[in-house]
Amino acid sequence: MILILLGPPGAGKGTQAKLLSTELGIPHISTGDMFRDHKARGTEIGKQVQAIMDAGGLVTDDITNAMVKERLSRPDVAPGFILDGYPRTVVQAEYLDGLLRSLGRSIDRALSYEVAEELVVERISGRRSCPRCGAVYHVSANPPKRAGYCDRDDAELVQREDDKPENVRKRMQEYGTKTEPLKRYYRDRGELAEVEGVGTPEGILAATKKVLGR
């Protein structure tokens, strides 16, 4: 099964992608995580994307498409995969179509997580993550056992640079102008399914599975 997850920043795509990945036994491919990993390792790509990412802008389509192409050439994607945060522009969606066609594959569903803007801002501003293992928390909705420290490895939690309020606004703008039009793109092809992104992660997972007929 090949799934694409759409939705504004803070819609819970990453959380659902992780749950679905376990549930369906297929890899979770997050372009945001891949870019953060490049930044952390200080690679050439990491250096190129650092400033734009921190400010909440989108990385160029060329860099993003090339990274996804490489990722989809690995053998673990054979049974299917979940794309979280890609495509984010119509150019990327068209590129993905061509790439999948060349591999003799096609997407099964584009799942769009629907969440009101106020809630998204609340979620993002309270989000904290572990710089060591990547675990994600929320100061009130999903707090760690000891405030400010990771349950798994006790590292001090941090706020992503792009989760700071001034950068969140930019991300919401980017979403509205560049990514939201993708809903129409997938709807026109009969591949879009909208899922209410409000509730507990397990509740939203159940709603997602229902939409997928599983």
Active site residue ranges: 13, 88, 127, 160, 171
* 85: contact with ligand ADP by CB under 6 A: yes
C-alpha to C-alpha distance for 44 and 51, rounded to whole angstroms: 13
The least distance separating ligand ADP from the CB of residue 53, rounded to whole angstroms, comes to 4
The window from 57-65, 94-102, 140-148, 181-189 that contacts ligand ADP (CB under 6 A) reads: 57-65
* 128: contact with ligand ADP by CB under 6 A: no
* 96: contact with ligand ADP by CB under 6 A: no
The window from 16-24, 31-39, 145-153, 189-197 that contacts ligand ADP (CB under 6 A) reads: 31-39
* 162: contact with ligand ADP by CB under 6 A: yes
144 near 158, Cβ under 8 Å? Answer: no
* 81: contact with ligand ADP by CB under 6 A: no
Of 166, 110, 119, whose CA–CA distance to 8 is shortest? 119
* 9: contact with ligand ADP by CB under 6 A: yes
C-alpha to C-alpha distance for 181 and 89, rounded to whole angstroms: 8
Strand-pairing partners, residue 129, are 136, 158
| Footprint on this chain of ligand ADP (rule: CB under 6 A) | 9, 13, 31-32, 35, 52-53, 56-59, 64, 85-86, 88, 92, 162, 171
